[in-house]
Structure 1
Amino acid sequence: MALYQKTFDQFEAILKCDMIDIKKLKALAFNGCPDENGIRSLTWKILLSYLVLDRTKWALHLSKHRELYRGYIRETIIKPGLTPSSESAVVDHPLNSAPDSSWAVYFKENEVLLQIDKDVRRLCPDLSFFQRETDYPCSEILNQEAGFESLRKRIESTSLKVENRVNSRLDLQYQKKANHSKTTYDMNEYQWLPDGHEAHWEVVERILFIFSKLNSGQSYVQGMNEIIGPIYYTFATDPNLEWREHAEADAFYCFTNLMIHIRDNFMKIYDHSEFGILVRMQRFLILLKKTDESIHYLFEKQKLKPEFYAFRWLTLLLSQEFRLPDVVRIWDSLFADQERNFEFLLYICCGMIVLQRDRLLNGSESQNIKLLQNYPQDIDVYQILEKAVELKRLYVL
């Protein structure tokens, strides 16, 4: 308890300085952020380069970016053919087949929106948080200002079929992990809240939709919901009311900054780049061989390719392998990684395997793939992190 209080006091001291000592903050955060006083929420905003290090500039910085985000809402969630200032300013029509037709773009975006909606509805199914009502719904949408429509209404009115959803290389692994066996889209999987109210998953949906529109070259890919989920949860449960009120905007910027570093995982075009997923999986295998040649040989013998398990581990930053409290603890260390290329994640993955060494060496191919795709939940995540630190000290990639 004395050690915890000392750590807590050290965080408080750093975060109250006019100029944040980022090196000291990273060193502390790497060993875990306290849950109290919103320390993790504030630390993540700094580590993800959303908040500048000069604390005296925070008020202006936050005001500017939060208002900019509200502008994104006004610009992106809008009916084609209308402007927010005039409902009668018809400039297009739904049957216009021209490539530059705003309605054609609108219908194409609906395919992305449908996939986002399907994914965010199943965020952290063991946790009721995302199904609960937010205290801070979007005022522009709920007031139904001219030209604006809620994504809820847009989804209800679409006639899209599930066959048109966004394709993802994570489909098979993701659905198996989520125990999502439905082959058709069920919009009643979770009931909507009454008009004028929004659930937290609807806020996440809006963040991802806006992100997809502002990043058309990348758009939305299945699995991004598992990246934004822990970030939004951390911000939306901040004990500070002001931080909690602006959790949506703050989460958007932190998610956007994080995607700059991990976008290669989600785009096939970058598979063979330095930080592409195929190259990262090869680096993982090299590290595994250095760490434990017996396990590496067994995996080769049983043809347990990293695509079967490590692909999801690396792409989703282990967000699907552990309960949310354990995920955010792991992310403390990942965000504080001094190298900022998430190389420490490779050591965590190897640590996970080393800690299951005996079971793996005595398991059949089918038993081992089941173990790797459904990692045991009873293991202490701190034990995994300690093993990862030990491996990083012994083996250099």
Structure 2
Amino acid sequence: MVHRIMAAYKARLLEFDALLKEETIDVGRLRDLCFSGVPDEGGRRALCWKLLLHYLPLDRTQWNDTLNKKRAQYNHFVEEMVVEPARLSKNGSGNNHVDDHPLNPNPESQWGSFFKDNEVLAQIDKDVRRLCPDIMFFQRGTQFPCEVIVNDPEVERLHRRVTHSSLTATAVTRKGLGITKLEASNRRSAQTEDYHPLPPGSEAHWEVVERILFIYAKLNPGQSYVQGMNEIIGPIYYTFANDPNIAFRENAEADCFWCFISLMGEIRDFFIRTLDDSESGIGAMMERLMSNLRHHDHQLWNRLRTQELRPQFFSFRWLTLLLSQEFDLPDVIRVWDSLFADANRFSYLIQVCTAMMVLQRDVMLQNDFGSNMKILQHYPPVDVQALLSKATELKEGQEPPSDPSLPEDSS
């Protein structure tokens, strides 16, 4: 039995390797393979995610040019948006801004922009200091710190621009529709100390994530940074920064930035409150989720409806953060293999969320409102492979067992 499992696994590795060595990657075959999970070994997951998130082109001959161009562009962003403003702050005006000063009322003043940026940075700093507190990774030092920042005494590091205060780990939820409320996360309920900066000359992984998010906010002033984006970027950066390929690992920051940009391009409407009720907004996604539950398990849907247990109470976080706070990081990464591989990945996200409820149906049909709320807001431990198998079953359209005593529509 063990030999058969190992043989099947080795055959699967060979399938991945053969596909990834093709001059032009067959994206359909790539999706099929990744949907069932990407092997951890050999940096295969990091490479597959770069392809599935449209960072790397399918033509392998273009990879080097793409990587060189994108990494150089990101380094330019770091210089322009982090290093130069930090030097301005350190030196006062700088040679090119002799008439600029902190009290300058001119809208073009770089100081005005500097202070405004600090308001956004304060929120980013709080969030990244508590990223994935159940593992030690983000508070450890990166092997490849940003040399121009850690070794230049004239460059003030981002975390020094904001006032640090101790916080407990929190997760984004909504009251109604809109990011308005924080509550303890189910898998991060214990109080945790915020991460602290490392000594000069070194840089923790959370500081790298802080820089990525800050640059993203600068490049997207209309949306800026919204709390919860740290939970989206965390698994991507973790995956890239642990790539055994040293050249990829050295450039994990830049590569993560571009993949985050691509993913946010697809889910950014979830974070914009004015689009809640639009077709692409989070309100519509929650409606799709409950409609899907109604289709697959009318009895459970009716139970939640009767109890007035609305999707806003639990599914906002599930959908907006792509389940990144509902499971431990290895399970989140496995779920994301399937989400990224699905051609219409947010349809599959709906199926996974539906499966989470269906797997708890027997208990929830007996529970009162409070007990069901606790299950949905603090989802119990589950075999993530069993969860994904159920989601795939729902995706393929298999109907749930019918209840002959239940009317067709009790709405």
- TM-score, normalised to structure 2, is 0.88
Query: What is the aligned partner in structure 2 of residue 179 from structure 1?
Result: 189
Q: Please tell me whether the aligned partners of residues 129 and 196 of structure 2 are also in contact (alpha carbons under 8 angstroms).
A: no
| Residue 110 of structure 1 pairs with residue 118 of structure 2 | yes
1:250 counterpart (248, 255, 262) = 255
Residue identity opposite 1:339 in structure 2: N
Q: Please tell me whether the aligned partners of residues 81 and 93 of structure 1 are also in contact (alpha carbons under 8 angstroms).
A: no
Aligned CA distance change for structure 1 residues 278 and 139 (closer, same or farther; 3 Å): same
Residue identity opposite 2:325 in structure 1: Q
Matches of 2:183 and 2:11, distance apart in 1: 40
Matches of 1:210 and 1:124, distance apart in 2: 21
Aligned CA distance change for structure 1 residues 118 and 180 (closer, same or farther; 3 Å): farther
Matches of 1:83 and 1:98, distance apart in 2: 17
Matches of 1:293 and 1:299, distance apart in 2: 10
Deviation of residue 176 (structure 1)? Answer: 4.5
Aligned CA distance change for structure 1 residues 129 and 389 (closer, same or farther; 3 Å): same
Matches of 2:141 and 2:398, distance apart in 1: 47
Query: What is the aligned partner in structure 2 of residue 349 from structure 1?
Result: 353
Aligned CA distance change for structure 1 residues 256 and 395 (closer, same or farther; 3 Å): farther
Aligned Cα RMSD in Å? 2.5
Matches of 1:230 and 1:80, distance apart in 2: 28
Q: Please tell me whether the aligned partners of residues 173 and 181 of structure 2 are also in contact (alpha carbons under 8 angstroms).
A: no
Aligned CA distance change for structure 1 residues 353 and 334 (closer, same or farther; 3 Å): same
Give the % identical residues: 52
Q: Please tell me whether the aligned partners of residues 235 and 333 of structure 2 are also in contact (alpha carbons under 8 angstroms).
A: yes
Gaps of 5+ in 2: 1-5, 166-171, 400-411
Query: What is the aligned partner in structure 2 of residue 44 from structure 1?
Result: 49
Gaps of 5+ in 1: 160-165, 183-187
Aligned CA distance change for structure 1 residues 295 and 106 (closer, same or farther; 3 Å): same
Query: What is the aligned partner in structure 1 of residue 367 from structure 2?
Result: 363
Aligned CA distance change for structure 1 residues 306 and 331 (closer, same or farther; 3 Å): same
CA offsets, 1:200-252, max 9 Å, x none?
A: 01100000000000111111000000000000000000111111000000000
- TM-score, normalised to structure 1, is 0.91
Q: Please tell me whether the aligned partners of residues 90 and 156 of structure 2 are also in contact (alpha carbons under 8 angstroms).
A: no
Matches of 1:27 and 1:282, distance apart in 2: 28
Matches of 1:171 and 1:144, distance apart in 2: 39
Matches of 2:205 and 2:87, distance apart in 1: 30
Matches of 2:68 and 2:249, distance apart in 1: 14
Q: Size of the alignment, in residue pairs? A: 382
Residue identity opposite 1:393 in structure 2: E
1:205 counterpart (202, 210, 227) = 210
Query: What is the aligned partner in structure 1 of residue 3 from structure 2?
Result: none
Residue identity opposite 2:77 in structure 1: Y
Query: What is the aligned partner in structure 2 of residue 163 from structure 1?
Result: none
Residue identity opposite 1:76 in structure 2: M
Matches of 1:104 and 1:87, distance apart in 2: 15
Residue identity opposite 2:159 in structure 1: R
Deviation of residue 84 (structure 1)? Answer: 12
| Residue 131 of structure 1 pairs with residue 135 of structure 2 | no
| Residue 33 of structure 1 pairs with residue 38 of structure 2 | yes
Query: What is the aligned partner in structure 1 of residue 159 from structure 2?
Result: 152
